[in-house]
Chains A and B, each alone.
Chain A
Amino acid sequence: MPLLEVSDLSVRFDTDDGPVHAVDRMAFTLDEGEVLGIVGESGCGKSVTCMSLVRLLPETATISGRALFDGTDLLALSPRRLQRVRGREISFVFQEPMTSLNPVFTVERQIGEVLRRHLGLSRRAARKRALELLRLVRIPAPERRLDEYPHQLSGGMRQRVMIAMALACDPKVLVADEPTTALDVTIQAGILDLMRDVSERLGTAVILITHNLGVVADLADRVVVMYAGRKAEEAAALELFAHPQHPYTIGLLGAIPRPAAGERPERLQEIPGRVPSLRELPVGCAFADRCPRADERTRTNVPQLAEVRPEHLVACFHPGENGAG
């Protein structure tokens, strides 16, 4: 049985200018110890999807659907019980380590907070465990770091602290929302390595949210591609990169700069057009306006997910690697 089973998840924000449909009938599963990558461009709803699982969204959000975690529907939990899931069973690592850590508390205090809240550890035990965690995330001179404040640490170290904090209670799921986007390129690889390492060692399932396909290729077992709040494609990572079916995925892959030795550099393929406004649910396929394969059918009907290749789902009327459908 999968660890996490999300079905029919929809999130709607009620703003002053009307509703925004950020996520539309999203569904995915996560197995124990698996690394699932969710990719898509900014605003496609990948962060909102995951944050809605533990209701980390503002009050203007209306969430509907089901999210079965270990048999319990997260979306039906009371706030009190939800607090016991957050940080303990499902943890988050966010994009901006500088602003995501409280500037007035030491590292020890911030990690210790989770330990004392969920595991009831004493001050001394919490400090010991925090030290272990800092070693786990490979921070040099961890004893010193415990008493330091976030502004005294570098970006990469802060992110490691965030990861340590997230793993403190040995959660079943770690959601990493763009964990390396705000970091220097040279640091990014280290963080990704760390995440892979830790996930393997501890058996933690990871949901990796990113717009960067390179990151996904590195870490993920399976990949979900989202577009405009809907799932466009889903497959094992290797399968997806080798045989992309959805024109959006193909476009994303084509947009990756690939310097090939000896050959003339090709022009980067852009995907023309822009993401549709989410104020109204698009009538047909959300990608229709930008799709080279669009026709009457795609503009009036919403494509459903279908298994086009073994264990490879696509929501498209004209799936296929070469534009043929």
Chain B
Amino acid sequence: MGGFLLRKVGAALVVLVIASMLVFAGVRAIPGNPAIALGAEDRDPALIAQIKHKYMLDRPLPVQYAHWVWLALHGDLGATQSELPVAHTIVQRLPISLELAVLSLVVSVLIGIPAGVIAAVRRGRPEDYVATTGALVGLSVPHFWLGLLFIIWFAVDLHWLPAGGYVTLHHPLSNLEHMVMPAIVLGTGFAAVLMRQMRSSMLSTLNADYVRTARAKGLSERAVVWRHAARNSLITVTTLLGLQLGALISGVVVTETVFQIAGFGQLTILAVNQRDYPLIQGVVLVTATAYVVVNLLVDVVYSLLNPRIRVT
């Protein structure tokens, strides 16, 4: 297991480095004076000189890059257009997005996994058609549209739930009220993907020899399906889960925009629309890091679940 993880960590670091280089190059590639892009829109000569000095803009690129990385590792990601520190702004908003992501994942797992198992076990029967069609529709429906629909139904028409916004966890009930629709909207899209993967995996697991052995041992059908088949399928699906995390990040960004949640995702869109380059830089860097780290976590979880890797 050690070797497996070491390789994954190594790959993760490589990606991180490449991503940081791309971000660095991206900002410098913007036509115009980088100093202006990095914070001196008002072209105040003193400010320009200050920024030039801070980012070492007159030194060769590799030096600039190293210096930039150095600053970043110390938590200094520059300042936004409104003079706020980028790092601080991001850190403030991350937990909100994290909560949304986690809630959505929970929803998607609770719906998607059992649906996939049932669809596979009752293949060809009505339950299977319902689940499979549901998943197909879930895949084709853009969840930001679903979000708008939910707002129309539950907020505007029925007044059951708030139309958007966010309340901190200090008020748990209100927080939940605001999170219910976004989490379900994002969760169902993900659930569709999970359901298809689980069903596909179960169809082959249910044909495995060890399932036949489990039946021959006289185990109940429930034990055979869930303890033996589903357990193995879940492990396979975990690897695929990692692949979906990127989609989850995108989903969080969009969902926050639809529901006006002041999280990290909304910050990203704000940054681009305002052409706030230091902020964009910080956001992209943090996203890349988060993506790499989470993927690494999924790899760790997988290696723990799969005895073939955990014990050699």
Contacts and interface: CB of A to CB of B under 8 A. Distances in A.
Given A94-B209, A96-B209, A149-B308, A103 B218 contact: no
Interface string B221-236: 1010000100110010
Contacts of B145: none
Contact of A94 (B213, B231, B305, B312): B213
B220 interface: yes
Nearest to A118: B218
B231 A54 contact: no
Contacts of A96: 209
Contacts of B212: 56, 94, 100
A104 interface: yes
Interface in A72-123: 79, 83-88, 91-92, 94, 96, 99-104, 113-114, 117-118
B156 interface: no
B217 A114 contact: yes
Interface of A: 54, 56, 79, 83-88, 91-92, 94, 96, 99-104, 113-114, 117-118, 148-149, 151-152, 162, 165
Contact of A103 (B210, B214, B312): B210
B217 A87 contact: yes
Given A102-B228, A103-B308, A88 B218 contact: yes
A100 B217 contact: no
A324 B265 CA distance: 89
Contacts, number: 74
Contact of B214 (A79, A85, A102, A162): A102
B300 to A, nearest CB: 17
B219 A102 contact: no
Interface string B111-126: 0000000000000000
A99 B210 contact: yes
B208 interface: yes
B217 A117 contact: yes
A103 B232 contact: yes
B219 A113 contact: yes
Contact of B231 (A83, A85, A99, A104): A104
A86 B184 CA distance: 44
Contacts of A148: 311
Nearest to A109: B227
B215 interface: yes
Q: Most chain-A CB neighbours within 10 Å: which of B215, B218, B223?
A: B218
A86 B212 CA distance: 11
Contact of A99 (B208, B216, B220, B223): B208
Contact of B216 (A84, A86, A104, A118): A86
Interface of B: 208-210, 212-221, 223, 228, 231-232, 235, 305-308, 311-312
A104 B218 contact: no
5 contacts: A87-B217, A87-B218, A92-B213, A104-B305, A151-B307
B81 to A, nearest CB: 53
Secondary structure at chain B's binding surface: helix, strand, loop or mixed? helix
B218 A152 contact: no
A87 B210 contact: no
B237 to A, nearest CB: 14
Nearest to B229: A102
Contacts of B228: 102
Contacts of A94: 209, 212-213, 216
B218 A86 contact: yes
A114 B214 CA distance: 9
A288 to B, nearest CB: 35
Contact of A102 (B221, B232, B311): B232
A104 B232 contact: yes
A153 to B, nearest CB: 12
B310 to A, nearest CB: 9
B102 to A, nearest CB: 26
A100 B307 contact: no
A92 B213 CA distance: 8
B210 A165 contact: no
B122 to A, nearest CB: 11
Contacts of A151: 307-308
B218 A84 contact: yes
Given A103-B232, A151-B307, A54 B217 contact: no
A101 B213 contact: yes
B210 A149 contact: no
B307 A103 contact: yes
A205 to B, nearest CB: 16
Contact of B219 (A83, A100, A104): A83
